[in-house]
Structure 1
Amino acid sequence: MSDLPDLSERLPATRRALHGVAELVMAGPQYRTSGTIRLRIVPGGFATVAAPELRVDADALITAAGARLPLHEVTYAALADAAGVDGGRPEGLYHDSSGADAADAVEVDPEAAAHLTDWLAAGDAALRRLAPGQDPVLWPEHFDLALTLDEVNYGVSPGDAAIGEPYAYVGPWRPHEGAFWNVSFGAARTLTELGGAGPDVAAGLAAFLEEGRRQAGASS
């Protein structure tokens, strides 16, 4: 993974841009075509789970025909048109969103995008180890990757308005008490707290999710 301090000023804008692509160019068209908003993690980025077949590879959108569309110097509407899809968010399904508008410019920094997609890939691997047989879902409304086990949500986020850097979380459906539970929705640990952008992050992430499962079970 790329070095977080060197990218900290570029991460928020790239995160918002990727969130907008996930919502307006991928999930919205997929919902109108195939009836689902779910997205999935793939090598180098994320993709739809049904038609239209689209995937993000760091700073480009790849179409089913193999066209590579750069994620910069283009609007969301123009990007959707170039991909041949009916752009726009899935209407009427949720209240939270990227806040992106079809006329807004898409500007993805390649290094920041690689950092964020590497984090999501690490999260996908950790969640699959936690729950073999389950497929983690990248949800377009919050742009986080998650699954649910025994009324507890486990996930990773590339960051948001509340926590500015990438983080992992454990969110029980019912409130839990104790030192482990450090945020209003449960427990969260940032990428820095989990070992930073180096080789230790995978172990730290796995350990946090496993401890979250243990703590949730002990408190239920």
Structure 2
Amino acid sequence: MDYQVTRVALHGVAELVLAGPQYDAIGTIKLRVTPGGFGTIGAPGLRVDGDQLITPGGTLPLTGTYEELAAAAGVAARPLRDVYHDGPDVTPSSAIHVDPADARRIADAFARGDRALREFADAEPILWPEHFDLGITVDEVNYGISPGDAHIAEPYAYVGPWQPRTGPFWNAPFGAARPLTSLDDVAAFFRDGRAAL
């Protein structure tokens, strides 16, 4: 299975099964990194661990459609197009396809990013379902981790100043990005970004 298939599938789970129902329950789309993946910050109390959905009632495989998975978890699949305009290219009736190895790769990227962001700044990292990235904002600069997207097809760290910057550090339309495979110390990359502002 292609890595991008798993990335899009998990992005869909993040929005339709976790953040959407959470938004209806407690009014926020914020998600967080959890052991083995990511989860809600409150009700409905769901989280992804690899290729499984952990619910208050048990564990479900990430299979079927988003609406079937959500129903089995006791929620309704909820797109967030009324909250933001980007998001995964899936619908509630789309099929979920997750490769366990690729799911672990994404979970490892988020876990590595969570540790680096906490080391870099005293801020709580948030996993945003819109772009499926983990980030913080410090002094009008976004720092974070993406599992990949249209710009870079693999997990990467980024520094995204609100005001465009120029110079050798800034190599992406939104600021700077480096594949995680090229970084020994992700927090150092964030510090380098702050120094290059």
- Structure 2: 5+ residue stretches without partners: none
Give the partner amino acid of 1:125.
R
Indicate the percent of aligned positions where both proteins have the same amino acid: 57
Shift of 1:10: 2.6
| CA distances 1:58-85 after superposition (whole Å, capped 9, x unpaired) | 00000022x111012x100000000000
Take 1:107 and 1:99, find their aligned partners in 2: how far apart are those partners?
Answer: 14
Shift of 1:207: 1.4
Instruction: Check whether the contact 2:6–2:98 (CA below 8 A) recurs between aligned residues.
Output: yes
Give the TM-score normalised by structure 2: 0.97
Take 2:179 and 2:81, find their aligned partners in 1: how far apart are those partners?
Answer: 31
Is 1:23 matched with 2:4? no
Aligned pair partner of 2:76 in 86, 91, 94: 86
- Structure 1: 5+ residue stretches without partners: 1-8, 195-199
Instruction: For 1:96-175, list aligned pairs within 5 A.
Output: 96-132=86-122, 134-175=123-164
Take 1:63 and 1:125, find their aligned partners in 2: how far apart are those partners?
Answer: 25
Alignment match, 2:29: 37
Instruction: Check whether the contact 2:110–2:147 (CA below 8 A) recurs between aligned residues.
Output: yes
Take 2:160 and 2:81, find their aligned partners in 1: how far apart are those partners?
Answer: 26
Count of matched residue pairs: 197
Is 1:70 matched with 2:51? no
Take 1:162 and 1:13, find their aligned partners in 2: how far apart are those partners?
Answer: 16
Take 1:191 and 1:128, find their aligned partners in 2: how far apart are those partners?
Answer: 17
Q: Say which SS state the counterpart of residue 170 (structure 1) adopts.
A: strand
Instruction: Check whether the contact 2:79–2:91 (CA below 8 A) recurs between aligned residues.
Output: no
Give the TM-score normalised by structure 1: 0.87
